[in-house]
Structure 1
Amino acid sequence: MVADQELVDEAALKALGAMGVIRPSDRAVQVIVGPIADQVAEEIRAAGAGVPMAGVAAISAEPAGDAADLSPALVAALGGAGAIAQARTLAGRVRVELREPRRVDAATLPGVRGMVQLTSTTLHLLV
């Protein structure tokens, strides 16, 4: 349920890998993610810190990692290993927590099809 459909950023959802967005009513949004739906649901559940999601089966998420799990060229484009607090492989993307977001060179991210900045220090990279 959403309070305001105008605040739903369909382009950002698609940039994160959504295959489509359906708005069945003025208060509902369905994000179509395809075969990775279970993984995404688990990530949302984990990010929601206990917010219940009815009808979603639990699965285990992939483990968190660090800059060592990324290619050297990608680490360099993200500002170097010192600029990266954590990198986590998720369903079709990498979630990067940055210490120094100003150092990211978005124009040279190798192997990245798209990037969405969720917060000032959190990026999702489509790989």
Structure 2
Amino acid sequence: MAKFTLIQNPTFKTDVMLPTVGGEPVKVEFEFKYRDRAELADLYAEWDERHKELGLKSQEVGLKKFTELLIDLQVEQLSAIVAGWDVDEAFTAGNLRILVRSISSAPRAVLEAYSDAFAKARLGNS
């Protein structure tokens, strides 16, 4: 019989298909921070608000500044959920920024994998 516990592990691992420029996506294992439903709701609400504010600023600050602000937000988002990764370079704030700056679709891939892990947990428990 499977053993179930109400207390979740503080982290979990899942694969993320990271896009590459001019090549095929690469499967990379990420270690994510677990958050309960209330924490996720708070986190997603904050991000939604920040995205709205950023969108309103896009016309007034110009493309270069908008891109810098978006990169900052995406680095903060990934810092809030990522605990580690299986990449040759160490998981550091600087390397996380390099990931976000290097390929514009990488943050979305990581965020979607995080969200999908929770969705699969919901489906698996229905």
The TM-score, its normalising length taken from structure 2, stands at 0.24
Which structure shows the higher helix fraction? 2
Question: Relative contact order (C-alpha < 8 Å, sep 6+): which is higher?
Answer: 2
Question: Comparing both structures, which one devotes a greater share of its residues to strand?
Answer: 1
The alignment's TM-score, normalised by the length of structure 1, stands at 0.24
